[in-house]
Amino acid sequence: MRVPPYALLAIAIVAEVIATSAMRASDGFSRLLPSAVVVAGYGIAFYCLSLTLKSIPVGIVYAIWSGAGIVLITLVALVLYRQVPDLPAIIGLGLIVAGVAVLNLFSKMQAH
What pLDDT is attached to residue 84?
Answer: 97
What pLDDT is attached to residue 1?
Answer: 78
Q: Could you state, in order of their start, the residue ranges of all structural domains in the chain?
A: 5-106
What CA–CA distance (Å, rounded) separates 100 from 93? 11
Q: Is 56 left (phi over 0), alpha (psi -120 to 50) or beta?
A: beta
What pLDDT is attached to residue 15?
Answer: 98
What pLDDT is attached to residue 111?
Answer: 55
pLDDT in single tens digits along all 112 residues of the chain: 789 999 999 999 999 999 999 998 999 999 999 999 999 999 999 999 999 999 999 989 999 999 999 999 999 999 999 999 999 999 999 999 999 999 888 887 765 5
- Given a contact cutoff of 8 angstroms between Cβ atoms, the answer to whether 34 and 26 are in contact is yes
